[in-house]
Structure 1
Amino acid sequence: MAFTGEAISLADLKTRMEEEVQLEDAVKAKLEAIIGYQVPMETMQLQPIDVMNFAKELTKNWSYFELEHKKTAIQTLCAEIVVNAVGKAIGGPGRRVPCEIISFKTN
């Protein structure tokens, strides 16, 4: 709603804005009651066991993911991964190499 000074007075605008804030707070409270309090993603700290369980679930559908989606999933979970190559490059030098995870740090 635009304030023009003629269509609505400043006092009416202030009252209307307060009503909107109250309505917004009421809707937020209802949503919280339905879904419960949720910790914002920025404040969540994953434990290594959570990452391992998620990785196990991912493996069930891993073959259906495109390479870029696989990469994004791993980068989202892990800040650092230490791997050890356990074989030769598939298809020649510079190609993907079978490896095992030695250690990792979560985001």
Structure 2
Amino acid sequence: MAKHGSDSGVYDEHGRFVNSKFEEIFHKYARTHPDALTADELNEFLKGNREPKDYGGWIGGLSEWKILYYLAKDKDGLLKKDTIRSVYDGSLFEKMAAEKINKKKHSEK
């Protein structure tokens, strides 16, 4: 259901995760760190996936990835490979909740 034009291609037309497409993101765009994307590298990735005149797809991809970057970047402004993979496997919000609980426990000590 989440497939749209100008997407990453990490899910195929049947909704299956395609690991080679996932790895391709980092081979092509992760220049600063092999396992993470900076804000500029994310922008290059989004531009690289644009299909001509697919304005809805551009907006969809931009929205999804920019929200992910805002919510899940680390303290150095990096969107890490493991974090992105957790979006695809559905575990991101569970991990974020666990981190928040852990952080709260440490701050209460």
TM-score, normalised relative to structure 1: 0.28
Task: From the CA coordinates, give the structure whose radius of gyration is larger.
Answer: 1
The structure whose residues are more often strand, as a share, is 1
The structure whose residues are more often helix, as a share, is 2
TM-score, normalised relative to structure 2: 0.28
Higher relative contact order (CA 8 A, sep 6+): 2
